[in-house]
Amino acid sequence: MHIDRLDHLVLTVASIEASVDFYTRVLGFRRITFGGGRTALAFGDSRINLHQAGAELSPHAFRPTPGSADLCLLTATPIDQVRAELEQHGVAVELGPVPRQGAAGPLRSVYLRDPDHNLIEIANRAE
């Protein structure tokens, strides 16, 4: 077997609408509706499917819990501009910019929290 890439992941959230608002308004994702009214957030060739806590679709994670995710998202936008845009939206930057190691090499990252307190790392590939 050879796995090529991640297609989507699922976040269990306390409020689908609060998550959609944050990810579309702050991070520029697109809301999509699929499969009989399900909600997802699209970006690039990937997406995040949203499950409402307490009403998860089966099968689901063993312990689906809002706030348990830790995601790293790559951007071509300079990380200092990312930090400034986050601050313009009133989103606190928890850490960064700081050097980190990504799957394909070094990164320069900032960390923030979404409405469920998931840890979101936004990063540039470092030279």
Domains of the chain by range and CATH? 8-125 (3.10.180.10)
Each residue of 6-45: pLDDT tens digit? 889 999 999 999 999 999 999 999 999 999 899 999 999 9
pLDDT, mean over the chain: 95
Confidence (pTM): 0.94
* pLDDT reported for residue 3: 84
Can 121 be counted among the known catalytic residues?
Answer: yes
- Does pLDDT of 127 surpass 80? no
User: Per-residue DSSP letters for the chain?
Assistant: -------EEEEEES-HHHHHHHHHHTT--EEEEETTTEEEEEETTEEEEEEETTSPPSS--SS--TT--EEEEE-SS-HHHHHHHHHHTTPPP-EEEEEEEETTEEEEEEEEE-TT--EEEEEEE--
The pLDDT tens digits of the residues spanning 66-76 come to: 999 999 999 99
Active-site choice (17, 87, 121, 127) = 121
